């Protein structure tokens, strides 16, 4: 079996910065095409304005990586699955939980791989954090995820629309880590969402969860932080404190600090290649479920208008 011929759909910043280098660095893949209405693609690689135009062409592909905003992703994924293609979904996997469930059933019927990717789970310190916490008594968890939206999402109107998630677009990265490393399931107890008066999605959120043992988990999300950015998780245990910094890249355990190079997207593509080879899918919706619960149960406060 030769390399997986993959097309990248949605050629925004994340595709250029992360997906294309990860594909180029993995011999299990070859970039067969790109799709975008606004980007010109990659020199020497067939480029199309729509996925329909690609599948109607004579360019052979085996898989697609969908890097579009989540609101548009279901129809693209359904089209790809109809054509027998394997599908890699950027996070979040969809705009609603029900559409992701529908895609899971669709992929199973089509006999193709569906991979809902959570790139922060592949940050260098996450696997070791999960192993260290597996048998320990956890007494408290704090998550501080504060960044400057003007730096990371300049001019991206879709992120403020319904389904775009607002501050939960980065916040779901933290949720993808803690749902993976904490040994007990947890759920939302209360939340406050700050929504700019001229936007549909929150710019900040304060969330309180508790796990099945009653342990408190607090999450502080804010998109208004300037200067140094904060992507930190602190887990207190009976055996000391675990800290994950820089979005999971730096792990500090009692008595030692482990620093590693970034390998999130290479790890995602290695996982996708394995799933395709094994004829399996991997779709974990727990992070998106917790975000949906925040919108369902959270108290909404109107705050100052936000302008890019």
Residues classed as catalytic: 91
Q: Show the 3-state SS of the chain.
A: CCCEEEEEECCCHHHHHHHHHHHHCCCCEEEEEEECCCCCCCCCCCEECCHHHHHCCCCCCCEEEECCCHHHHHHHHHHHHHCCCEEEECCCCCCCHHHHHHHHHHHHHHCCCEEECCHHHHCCCHHHHHHHHCCCCEEEEEEEEECEHHHHCCCCHHHHCCCCCCCHHHHHHHHHHHHHHCCCCEEEEEEEEEEECCCCCCCEEEEEEEECCCCEEEEEEECECCCCCEEEEEEEECCEEEEEEHHHCEEEECCEEEECCCCHHHHHHHHHHHHHHHCCCECCCHHHHHHHHHHHHCEEEEECCCCC
């Amino acid at each position: 079996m030769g390399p997986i011929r993959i097309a990248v759909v949605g050629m925004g910043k994340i595709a250029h910065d992360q997906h294309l280098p990860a594909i180029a660095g993995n011999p299990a893949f070859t970039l067969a095409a790109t799709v975008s209405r606004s980007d010109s693609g990659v020199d020497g690689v067939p480029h199309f304005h729509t996925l329909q135009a690609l599948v109607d062409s004579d360019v052979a592909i085996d898989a697609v990586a969908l890097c579009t905003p989540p609101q548009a992703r279901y129809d693209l994924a359904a089209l790809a699955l109809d054509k027998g293609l394997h599908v890699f979904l950027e996070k979040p996997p969809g705009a609603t939980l029900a559409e992701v469930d529908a895609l899971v059933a669709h992929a199973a019927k089509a006999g193709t791989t569906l991979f809902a990717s959570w790139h922060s789970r592949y940050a260098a310190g996450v696997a070791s954090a999960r192993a260290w916490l597996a048998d320990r008594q956890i007494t408290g968890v704090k998550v501080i995820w504060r960044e400057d939206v003007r730096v990371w999402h300049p001019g991206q109107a879709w992120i403020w629309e319904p389904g775009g998630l607002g501050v939960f677009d980065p916040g779901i990265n933290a949720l993808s880590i803690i749902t993976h490393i904490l040994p007990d399931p947890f759920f939302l107890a209360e939340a406050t969402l700050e929504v700019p008066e001229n936007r549909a999605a929150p710019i900040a959120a304060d969330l309180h969860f508790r796990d099945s043992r009653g342990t408190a988990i607090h999450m502080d999300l804010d998109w208004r932080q300037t200067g140094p950015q904060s992507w930190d998780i602190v887990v207190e245990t009976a055996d000391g404190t675990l800290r994950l910094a820089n979005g999971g890249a730096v792990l500090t355990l009692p008595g030692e600090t482990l620093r590693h190079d970034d390998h999130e997207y290479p790890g995602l593509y290695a996982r996708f290649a394995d799933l395709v080879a094994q004829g399996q899918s991997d779709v974990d919706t727990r992070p998106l479920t917790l975000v949906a619960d925040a919108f369902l149960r959270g108290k909404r406060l109107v705050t100052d208008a936000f302008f890019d």
